[in-house]
């Protein structure tokens, strides 16, 4: 080769040498990790199981040549448990590799009512279910990736920098216990100057203050131990009760789950109409007409797959179900066409449309007057009815009367005392005179007059007047649905006798007027009298109690009453009873508004915990535990920078412990993270949903075992932490004298199985309903499920005589009433016979803690407002903010915790901003354009997804995307970086920029009656991202 340099400063040979060394060298260095991995066969997965079938599983059951039937495949363990990929909590059959302990497949538990329409009877041997397993949805199948998530944390972590710095180090269980229990300067080693010198109280220090009032001037606030706060995300059934039991024993009332993020207003409204109940569902398979308000079969709702399946089945039958979805968004179940229709309503105006229907139904006399006239169950049944209402009961309407807004009592009417149900007064239809509701066969339905000098009206009259307060045309204008369409819907609804149902879910209630929206929707059911009828409404069959039976797992003898006082969320308590209120009144001040709202009618006001704790209203928090909780991600507006900064300040909440399976979007701001078990590694006893009509209780239990163990071999998790704390502090109900049985003897509580197995025994031995006795597990069933290990490991947790039946429950994944017991001819088997309420007296007697005005007891259109009553239409100008944001739960990605499920992320990798085609044209936006969603609270960028099936003026995003934690971003453990995964970051999440209430510091817009936080009333505009190519 020539060495001439030519125009180059080096020879050609030199140049080639440099290029060769530089190029190959750079490549080898840059790609070294991958090339070394490839060369050394690292990260190589597993070989194929079979030359033809590759990685396909071998079946769970094998052909038995001897019998011609099936026999278990010894390679696999089959265990039944309960899902938690969504709140449907379907039964799972989990196929586990017996050698490795790894899950190979998840499908449906055929004994569980959610997974099959004609589910297997408890007496069906396990082997006989081989050919007919149940189904679960894509989320259920994908649960394997929730459990085997590479970002799982398996040991306790402690922050090594400031809160939220993303720097962690693993610590021993013992160190965790020592620090959080004993307290002191436990953050001195974190290098965080803000918290290094803070003297943390610790569990011991706080527990010692059990006799000390939170505020001597306000004894109703309870003791200082109320400073222990539990903010639970998705925690239900017996797992929640396990936590509550600890809180009671500790002396704190502040143990919460997440319900007001979801739909508590729905539960509250249901509880007002159907006392003590939280959910009304249609008998879907036999109904002739259903209106789904704010939900659609096959998308979310309870149980998602079951409702979808029932609806499809019913709709496919000749003369079967017709249904209408009322929702701004057309989802999977919102089919248009054959016996299904979609009404795209304006967000948050369901109440107006329902009231319009009520008005038309009343004026056209298409309600069931006979049914509504019966004021008590006895009279109703005598007339062939299955339930009764308070429609004929009289309400005091004289505003000057001391009992204004209350039901007229026997005392008021001069009829003496009434006892028990039917204590109201009606105008007896037979005599035309006042009578006790419990004694009259029928009351006058529409009555306005005086009784004993008191102005009264019947509940029905109040409803009529409320409905008639607006013209149909006005209602139509409010809800954006043509009047003729409303009338047609009302006509159809009243054309199917008792087999028409109006049911609501989240879309109706996540508004400031959510309670009243839902109340109106539910009241439609009263007008047709559908409850308890085949094809009508049902309140379900309930479950088998796990709290009491052979064991009293909730009992805390000696600690009763230790936990008391107003909760931090100010729920289930009246502001007017508070010392604060009384002091203001005494001082001659206007006591209204309260600093933050009180929620006397609602419960589980999860979203108010953090801002209340930071503001110390009515008091602060010393120790906060987040369990599967991610308020920064899931609560509207709480992910804003100012608020996160406030929670990060240790002076506001000195100690935060998270229980999580990963470093999550909120747990990343904790001081400690303790590893939790996934849904496949934890316990819960959870009742089946109302939709199935029958009674049932599923048992979730650890079918695999992934996290590390404590020194004495227990699975690290929240329960074991609570047990260890309880034992250290000598709390009632922990240690050797842990759980009393029905004979008064005590059993130890040293590990969570001591408690959960006893709860399972309570289920197994609960009184049956017929056909639901639990068979003892056979030897084969024990072998297939490898259940003997439970008995071997926890032999002394139960009486030996109880094990066969308990294992019978475990082998079937719970206890379930047979499906053929759902109905008795044209009646449902499980019936609810308390008085149904057309008038919510409890609501009508309650005052709004912000305005001092009384809430309304009658359904009626209610305009959405801020806490201080400013209509939202006046809050954000329509011209500046022409769009309204709504969220929705898709069938594949509805939770904050499914971003690790790559198999379903592949199907829906990004949510995008869903824009109605008409709006896209109006704003010049094309499919795929990068756009900014701008709200009064901030802006986020995403990609436009232009679609039909969305009401113009509304933009939608599917929840579950746009993570910043849960493996989405980098963090460090012991100084080593854990790389975040972009797949988990994908998509847009608008919760942090949803509307805050301008009247209350860091409070989302809220429904002050029902307690729901508001997702669907944020106004927005779109701006094209001109920087993006």
Strand 70-72 and strand 61-63: pairing?
A: antiparallel
Residue 190 Cβ vs other proteins, minimum distance, rounded to whole Å:
20
Our finding on whether 44 is near other proteins (CB under 8 A) is yes
Our finding on whether 188 is near other proteins (CB under 8 A) is no
Nearer to other proteins, 48 or 188 (CB): 48
Considering only the stretches 22-30, 372-380, 637-645, 1001-1009, report the one whose residues sit in contact with other proteins under the rule CB under 8 A.
Answer: 22-30
Alpha-helical regions (H) of 31-72: 32-39
Q: Is 744 left (phi over 0), alpha (psi -120 to 50) or beta?
A: left
Tokens of 936: 């009064």
The answer to whether 96 and 76 have CB atoms below 8 angstroms apart is yes
Give the whole-angstrom CA distance, residue 779 versus residue 609.
49
* Interface with other proteins (CB under 8 A), residue from 5, 10, 26, 211: 26
H or E element at residue 202: helix 202-207
Residue 706 Cβ vs other proteins, minimum distance, rounded to whole Å:
9
Site string for other proteins, 878-907 (x = CB under 8 A): ------------x-x---------xx-xxx
Nearer to other proteins, 79 or 905 (CB): 905
Residues in region 54-83 near other proteins by CB under 8 A: 54-55
Site string for other proteins, 87-106 (x = CB under 8 A): ---------------x----
The residue whose two tokens read 């406030």 is 646
- Of 138, 120, 122, the closest CA to residue 130 belongs to 120
Residue 161 Cβ vs other proteins, minimum distance, rounded to whole Å:
17
The answer to whether 250 and 728 have CB atoms below 8 angstroms apart is no
Our finding on whether 154 is near other proteins (CB under 8 A) is yes
Give the whole-angstrom CA distance, residue 589 versus residue 579.
13
Considering only the stretches 298-306, 639-647, 814-822, 928-936, report the one whose residues sit in contact with other proteins under the rule CB under 8 A.
Answer: 928-936
Considering only the stretches 45-53, 182-190, 815-823, 835-843, report the one whose residues sit in contact with other proteins under the rule CB under 8 A.
Answer: 45-53
* Interface with other proteins (CB under 8 A), residue from 5, 10, 22, 878: 22
**Residue 977 β-bridge partners:** 972
* Interface with other proteins (CB under 8 A), residue from 2, 590, 800, 1026: 2
H or E element at residue 749: strand 746-749
Q: ∠ CA(504), CA(508), CA(513), 5° rounding? A: 130
Our finding on whether 161 is near other proteins (CB under 8 A) is no
Considering only the stretches 119-127, 145-153, 267-275, 310-318, report the one whose residues sit in contact with other proteins under the rule CB under 8 A.
Answer: 145-153
Residue 39 Cβ vs other proteins, minimum distance, rounded to whole Å:
7
Considering only the stretches 15-23, 115-123, 258-266, 294-302, report the one whose residues sit in contact with other proteins under the rule CB under 8 A.
Answer: 15-23
Other Cβ atoms less than 10 A from the Cβ of 61: the count is 18
Residue 944 Cβ vs other proteins, minimum distance, rounded to whole Å:
9
Considering only the stretches 142-150, 204-212, 429-437, 486-494, report the one whose residues sit in contact with other proteins under the rule CB under 8 A.
Answer: 142-150
The answer to whether 447 and 458 have CB atoms below 8 angstroms apart is yes
Site string for other proteins, 831-870 (x = CB under 8 A): ----------------------------------------
* Interface with other proteins (CB under 8 A), residue from 10, 19, 430, 585: 19
Residues in region 938-997 near other proteins by CB under 8 A: 943, 945, 958, 967, 973, 976-979, 981-983, 986-987
Nearer to other proteins, 144 or 1005 (CB): 144
Our finding on whether 1 is near other proteins (CB under 8 A) is yes
CA distances from 601 to 231, 253, 635 (A): 20, 17, 21
Considering only the stretches 41-49, 358-366, 377-385, 666-674, report the one whose residues sit in contact with other proteins under the rule CB under 8 A.
Answer: 41-49
Our finding on whether 784 is near other proteins (CB under 8 A) is no
Site string for other proteins, 905-924 (x = CB under 8 A): xxxxxxxx------------
The answer to whether 681 and 702 have CB atoms below 8 angstroms apart is yes
Q: Is 338 exposed, middle or buried (0-12, 13-18, 19+ CB in 10 A)?
A: exposed
Our finding on whether 43 is near other proteins (CB under 8 A) is yes
Biggest distance spanned by C-alpha atoms of the chain: 124
Residue 47 Cβ vs other proteins, minimum distance, rounded to whole Å:
5
Considering only the stretches 50-58, 91-99, 168-176, 828-836, report the one whose residues sit in contact with other proteins under the rule CB under 8 A.
Answer: 50-58
Nearer to other proteins, 92 or 391 (CB): 92
Give the whole-angstrom CA distance, residue 324 versus residue 287.
13
Residue 3 Cβ vs other proteins, minimum distance, rounded to whole Å:
9
Other Cβ atoms less than 10 A from the Cβ of 818: the count is 19
Residue 53 Cβ vs other proteins, minimum distance, rounded to whole Å:
9
* Interface with other proteins (CB under 8 A), residue from 10, 23, 74, 736: 23
Considering only the stretches 17-25, 232-240, 601-609, 817-825, report the one whose residues sit in contact with other proteins under the rule CB under 8 A.
Answer: 17-25
Our finding on whether 34 is near other proteins (CB under 8 A) is yes
* Interface with other proteins (CB under 8 A), residue from 106, 144, 361, 610: 144
Q: ∠ CA(700), CA(706), CA(712), 5° rounding? A: 95
Nearer to other proteins, 715 or 911 (CB): 911
The answer to whether 693 and 824 have CB atoms below 8 angstroms apart is no
Give the whole-angstrom CA distance, residue 853 versus residue 128.
62
Give the whole-angstrom CA distance, residue 801 versus residue 664.
43
- Of 461, 413, 454, 455, the closest CA to residue 437 belongs to 413
Torsion angle of C-alpha atoms 33, 38, 43, 49, degrees rounded to 10: 170
Our finding on whether 681 is near other proteins (CB under 8 A) is no
Nearer to other proteins, 131 or 976 (CB): 976
3-state SS of 862-877 is CCCECCCCCEHHHHCC
> What's the distance, Cα to Cα, between the start and end of the chain in Å?
47
Our finding on whether 10 is near other proteins (CB under 8 A) is no
Residues touching other proteins, count (CB under 8 A): 80
Nearer to other proteins, 145 or 270 (CB): 145
Q: Is 67 exposed, middle or buried (0-12, 13-18, 19+ CB in 10 A)?
A: exposed
Residue 262 Cβ vs other proteins, minimum distance, rounded to whole Å:
23
For residues 775-793, one letter each, b for 16 or more C-beta atoms within 10 angstroms of the residue's C-beta and e for the rest, the string is bebbeebbebbbbeebbee
* Interface with other proteins (CB under 8 A), residue from 10, 20, 117, 382: 20
The answer to whether 410 and 859 have CB atoms below 8 angstroms apart is no
Residue spans of beta strands (DSSP E) within 310-377: 322-326, 340-343
Considering only the stretches 144-152, 340-348, 475-483, 673-681, report the one whose residues sit in contact with other proteins under the rule CB under 8 A.
Answer: 144-152
Our finding on whether 24 is near other proteins (CB under 8 A) is yes
Classified as helix, coil or strand, 282 is strand
Residue 680 Cβ vs other proteins, minimum distance, rounded to whole Å:
13
The answer to whether 437 and 392 have CB atoms below 8 angstroms apart is yes
Our finding on whether 5 is near other proteins (CB under 8 A) is no
Give the whole-angstrom CA distance, residue 956 versus residue 532.
36
Nearer to other proteins, 160 or 607 (CB): 160
The answer to whether 279 and 690 have CB atoms below 8 angstroms apart is yes
Our finding on whether 37 is near other proteins (CB under 8 A) is yes
CA-CA-CA-CA torsion sign (921, 927, 930, 935): positive
* Interface with other proteins (CB under 8 A), residue from 5, 10, 30, 432: 30
Classified as helix, coil or strand, 611 is helix
Tokens of 654: 């000195």
Nearer to other proteins, 150 or 219 (CB): 150
Residue 332 Cβ vs other proteins, minimum distance, rounded to whole Å:
10
């Amino acid at each position: 080769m020539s060495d001439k340099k030519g125009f180059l400063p080096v020879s050609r040979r030199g140049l080639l040498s440099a290029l060769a060394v530089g190029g190959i060298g750079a490549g080898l260095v840059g790609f070294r990790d991958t090339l070394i991995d490839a060369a050394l066969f690292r990260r190589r997965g597993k070989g194929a199981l079979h030359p033809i079938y590759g990685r396909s599983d071998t079946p769970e059951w094998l052909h038995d040549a001897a019998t011609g039937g099936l026999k278990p495949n010894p390679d696999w363990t089959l265990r039944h448990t309960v899902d938690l990929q969504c709140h449907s909590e379907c039964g799972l059959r989990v196929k586990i590799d017996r050698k490795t302990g790894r899950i190979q497949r998840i499908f449906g538990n055929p004994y569980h009512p959610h997974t099959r329409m004609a589910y297997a009877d408890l007496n069906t041997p396990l082997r006989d279910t081989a050919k007919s397993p149940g189904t679960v949805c894509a989320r259920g199948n994908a649960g394997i990736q929730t459990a085997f998530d590479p970002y799982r944390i398996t040991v306790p972590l402690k922050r090594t920098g400031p809160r939220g710095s993303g720097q962690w180090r693993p610590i021993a269980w013992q160190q965790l216990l020592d620090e959080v229990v004993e307290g002191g300067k436990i953050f001195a080693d974190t290098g965080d100057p803000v918290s290094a010198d803070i003297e943390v109280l610790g569990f011991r220090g706080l527990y010692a203050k059990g006799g000390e009032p939170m505020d001597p001037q306000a004894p109703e606030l309870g003791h200082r131990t109320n400073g222990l706060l539990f903010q639970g995300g998705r925690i239900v059934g017996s797992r929640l009760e396990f936590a509550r039991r600890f809180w009671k024993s500790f002396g704190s009332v502040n143990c919460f789950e997440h319900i007001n993020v979801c739909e508590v207003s729905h539960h509250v409204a249901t509880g007002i109409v159907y006392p003590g109940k939280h959910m009304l569902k249609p008998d879907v398979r036999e109904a002739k007409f259903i209106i789904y308000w704010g939900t659609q079969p096959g998308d979310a709702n309870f149980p998602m797959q079951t409702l979808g399946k029932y609806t499809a089945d019913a709709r496919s039958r000749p003369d079967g179900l017709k249904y209408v979805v009322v929702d701004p968004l057309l989802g999977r179940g919102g089919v248009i066409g054959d016996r299904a229709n979609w009404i795209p309503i304006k967000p948050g105006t369901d109440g107006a449309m329902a009231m319009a229907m009520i008005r038309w139904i009343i004026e056209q006399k298409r309600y069931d007057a006979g049914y509504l006239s019966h004021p008590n169950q006895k009279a109703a049944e005598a007339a062939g009815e299955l339930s009764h209402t308070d429609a004929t009961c009289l309400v005091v309407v004289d505003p000057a009367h001391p009992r204004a807004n209350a039901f007229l009592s026997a005392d008021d009417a001069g009829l003496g005392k009434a006892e028990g149900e039917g204590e109201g007064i009606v105008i007896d239809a037979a005599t035309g005179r006042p009578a006790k509701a419990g004694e009259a066969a029928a009351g006058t339905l529409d009555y306005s007059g005086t009784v004993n000098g008191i102005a009264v009206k019947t509940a029905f009259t109040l409803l009529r007047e409320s409905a008639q307060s607006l013209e149909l045309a006005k209602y139509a204008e409010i809800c954006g649905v043509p009047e003729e369409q409303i009338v047609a819907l009302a006509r159809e609804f009243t054309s199917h006798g008792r087999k028409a149902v109006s049911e609501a879910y989240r879309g109706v209630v996540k508004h400031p007027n959510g309670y009243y929206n839902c109340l109106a929707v539910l009241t439609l059911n009263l007008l047709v009298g559908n409850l308890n009828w085949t094809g009508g409404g049902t309140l379900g069959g309930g479950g088998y109690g796990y709290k009491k039976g052979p064991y009293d797992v909730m009992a805390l003898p000696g600690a009763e009453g230790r936990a008391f006082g107003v909760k931090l969320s100010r729920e289930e308590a009246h502001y007017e009873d508070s010392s604060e209120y009384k002091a203001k009144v005494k001082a001659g001040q206007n006591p209204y508004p309260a600093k933050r709202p009180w929620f006397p009618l609602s419960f589980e006001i999860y979203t108010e915990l953090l801002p209340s704790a930071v503001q110390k209203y009515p008091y602060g928090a010393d120790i906060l535990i987040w369990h599967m909780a991610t308020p920064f991600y899931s609560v509207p507006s709480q992910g804003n920078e100012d608020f996160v900064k406030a929670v990060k300040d240790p002076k506001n909440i000195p100690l935060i412990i998270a229980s999580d399976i990963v470093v999550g979007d909120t747990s990343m701001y904790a001081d400690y993270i303790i590893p939790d078990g996934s849904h496949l590694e934890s316990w819960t006893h959870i009742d089946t949903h109302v939709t199935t009509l029958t009674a049932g209780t599923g048992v979730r239990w650890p079918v695999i075992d992934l996290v590390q163990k404590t020194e004495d071999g227990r699975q690290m998790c929240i329960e074991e932490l609570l047990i260890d704390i309880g034992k250290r502090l000598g709390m009632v109900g922990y240690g050797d004298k842990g759980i009393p049985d029905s004979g008064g003897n005590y059993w130890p509580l040293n590990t969570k199985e001591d408690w959960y197995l006893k709860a399972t025994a309570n289920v197994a031995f609960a009184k049956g309903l017929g056909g639901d006795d639990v068979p003892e597990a056979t030897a084969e069933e024990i072998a297939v499920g490898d259940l003997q290990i439970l008995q071997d490991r926890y032999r002394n947790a139960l009486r030996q005589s109880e094990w066969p039946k308990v294992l019978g429950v475990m082998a079937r994944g719970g206890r379930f009433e047979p499906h053929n017991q759902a109905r008795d001819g044209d009646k449902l088997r499980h019936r609810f016979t308390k008085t149904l309420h057309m008038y919510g007296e409890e609501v009508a007697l309650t005052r709004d803690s912000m305005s001092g005005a009384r809430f309304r007891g009658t359904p009626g259109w209610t305009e959405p407002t801020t806490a201080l009553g400013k209509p939202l239409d006046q809050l954000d100008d329509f011209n500046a903010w022409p769009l309204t944001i709504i969220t929705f739960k898709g069938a594949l990605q509805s939770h904050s915790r499914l971003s690790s499920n790559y198999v379903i992320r592949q199907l829906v990798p990004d949510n995008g901003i869903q824009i109605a085609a008409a709006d896209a044209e109006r704003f010049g936006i094309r499919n795929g354009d990068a756009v900014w969603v701008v709200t009064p609270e901030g802006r986020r960028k995403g990609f436009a997804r232009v679609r039909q099936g969305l009401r113009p003026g509304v933009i939608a995003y599917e929840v579950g995307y746009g993570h910043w934690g849960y493996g989405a971003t980098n963090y460090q453990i012991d100084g080593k970086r854990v790389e975040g995964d972009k797949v988990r970051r994908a998509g847009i999440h608008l919760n942090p920029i949803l509307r805050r209430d301008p009247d209350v510091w860091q409070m989302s817009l809220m429904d002050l009656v029902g307690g729901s936080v508001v997702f669907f009333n944020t106004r927005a505009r779109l701006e094209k991202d001109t920087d993006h190519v």
